[in-house]
Amino acid sequence: MAAYDGLTAYDGLAAYDAVRRRVGEGLPARRPSGSPTPRGSPGECPFRPRGSPAGPPVPPATATPCRLREGGRPPPPRGPVGATVRSKGGSGAGDDGTVSEEQTVCWSDGSGEERRALWRSESGTPPPKQVLVADDRMNADTAFRLACEGTSLLWRGDFHNARQLLGAMARRVDRRPPKPGASPEQTFHFHRQAQSRRARILNMLLLPFDAGHVIPLRRAPDVRLACEQAYGQCHEPYVMSLRELQGVLGAGEWRRRGVRVPALGESITPHYGVFSPVRGEYVDLVAEAPLPSRGTAFDIGTGTGVLAAVLARRGVRSVVATDLDARALACARENIDRLGLSSTVEVRRADLFPDGRASLVVCNPPWLPGRARTPLEHAVYDPGSRMLRGFLDGLPAHLEPGGEGWLVISDLAERLGLRSRTELTDLFDRAGLTVVGRLDARPLHSRAHDPADPLHSWRKAEVTSLWRLAVGPGAGLDPAP
């Protein structure tokens, strides 16, 4: 189920947002009034602005990274900053994004003692092969240079200083925006490459976690609830990037607050890894389109369950909502139960269609053909348009006589040159489907009104459509724009 473009990260630490805004290029701003001096670091907070009289200047880390030879041992540790880390790579994360026993990170602390923890990466990124243990003495320029060179940093300093350091690294990445392409498609690919580079660099800043999702750092927040909601219980230490933690905390905040859905008059609570229905135009289209019948409906790729809930509230007597993702299934069931619709909506694990036929089959597939680099991107990118093709090809066999299939999809792929309108309508023809109607809506999301977005002109012109499809020939609607 496609929703919004990327995860909105809420780090759960709003009290320090003002500090983050004051951060200048180079060194972060002063600490909030009354906050303690980080213990164990030289002088006062090393991220103070230039000209501050507090404490002597702190030199950056001087240790050089060590790339381990296969079967080799790390050199003797040189202290907390610059201690080496060894990685034992496995076959990759499981389908649920959790770690396996083969994915571990080993390092030597300042005393020379070897430590080991599991490696956690939702995107399935293998454990880093080159890591330095870093603390509050490392400045942003050094951290950024090391990250660009492929060295990860296992943070052992103050937690809020790590957040400020990540923000400073992000500003350095953003100094080099993607160059415009010669065509919309090329511009889009340059944009994706820039996003990938940004994620790779920022994911180099790592955090240690003790068993039970506890961060053993000064001034670290309590993240146990958000991490347990995302990953379940954890009884062993692990290492994860700070950026991934921000995504976990952002998802936890969405889940706590919920997303108001005007078509329902209530809120939907998305889970971690399940996209939130913040792009309300596609929900409104399903709420407004004329129903062919109030008998049985299928919601294919239900995600949060929002479209199944809308159909049930419109009076459809029986709705079967399907998905393959375990997190989506749990999320949809929770929302349906909380909305009091469990007697009408059945959430079922299925690859696209459940058994049987329905008078209405709704599908909101990923809108852009392309390779998904992370599990979250599977709701945005549809490799080879497999889900779109599977829905259209299988629709005739699952529609009752006189029934309709509703395809909810944006034309952004067409505007970017990733797919043409003719290619889409050819898929209709190949499946033996006729267009009997179409409803359109303009985007309401913030990126459509952000001139700084590299894809702004195409997002602004984007149209989301609900295609009403039926089996067999008919006069239908002219599919031309």
Spatial separation of the C-alpha atoms in residues 16 and 22, rounded to whole Å? 10
Higher pLDDT, 158 or 95: 158
- Indicate whether 384 belongs to any domain: yes
Structural domain for 404, as ranges: 258-471
Give just the sign of the alpha carbon dihedral 218, 220, 224, 228: negative
Same domain, 264 and 215: no
Give CA angle at 438 (435, 439), nearest 5°.
Answer: 165
- Indicate whether 205 belongs to any domain: yes
Give the pLDDT score at 102: 56
Give CA angle at 169 (165, 170), nearest 5°.
Answer: 115
384: DSSP letter: G
- Indicate whether 237 belongs to any domain: yes
Give just the sign of the alpha carbon dihedral 388, 392, 395, 401: positive
Spatial separation of the C-alpha atoms in residues 154 and 85, rounded to whole Å? 9
Higher pLDDT, 96 or 252: 252
Give the pLDDT score at 184: 82
Mean pLDDT in residue range 148-153: 93
Mean pLDDT in residue range 410-423: 88
- pLDDT band for position 456 (50/70/90)? low
Going from the C-alpha of 5 to that of each of 269, 277, 314, 412, 445, the distances in angstroms are 18, 11, 28, 12, 9
Task: Pick from 41-50, 126-135, 373-382, 437-446 the range whose average pLDDT is largest.
Answer: 126-135
Same domain, 320 and 352: yes
Same domain, 116 and 151: yes
Going from the C-alpha of 370 to that of each of 343, 410, 413, 459, 477, the distances in angstroms are 38, 15, 10, 17, 29
Look over the chain and give the mean of its residue pLDDT values, rounded to a whole number. Answer: 78
Same domain, 72 and 209: yes
Same domain, 374 and 397: yes
Burial category of 255 from C-beta neighbours within 10 Å (exposed 0-12, middle 13-18, buried 19 and up): buried
Same domain, 100 and 43: yes
- Name 408's bridge partners: 466
Structure tokens at 408: 């909810």
Give the pLDDT score at 101: 44
Mean pLDDT in residue range 322-331: 95
pTM: predicted TM-score of the whole model, two decimal places: 0.75
Same domain, 424 and 350: yes
- Indicate whether 216 belongs to any domain: yes
pLDDT digit string (tens) for 156-167? 999 999 999 999
Domain boundary among 215, 249, 283: 249
Domain boundary among 249, 283, 313: 249
Give the pLDDT score at 41: 34
- Indicate whether 8 belongs to any domain: no
Strands (DSSP E) found in 324-398:
345-349, 358-363
- Indicate whether 160 belongs to any domain: yes
- pLDDT band for position 49 (50/70/90)? very low
Give the pLDDT score at 449: 60
Same domain, 233 and 380: no
- Helix axis angle for 421-430 and 386-394, nearest 10°, is 40
Domain boundary among 249, 283, 311: 249
- Indicate whether 9 belongs to any domain: no
What percent of the chain has a predicted confidence (pLDDT) above 90? 53
Same domain, 167 and 108: yes
Give CA angle at 363 (357, 368), nearest 5°.
Answer: 145
Q: Strand pairing of 205-209 and 238-241?
A: antiparallel
- Indicate whether 477 belongs to any domain: no
Same domain, 351 and 457: yes
210: DSSP letter: B
Give the pLDDT score at 80: 34
Q: Please give the single-letter amino acid code of residue 155.
A: W
Mean pLDDT in residue range 227-242: 94
Same domain, 206 and 278: no
Same domain, 264 and 235: no
CATH code, domain carrying 438: 3.40.50.150
pLDDT digit string (tens) for 60-92? 333 333 332 222 333 333 333 333 333 333 333
Spatial separation of the C-alpha atoms in residues 455 and 412, rounded to whole Å? 10
Domains identified in the chain, total number = 2
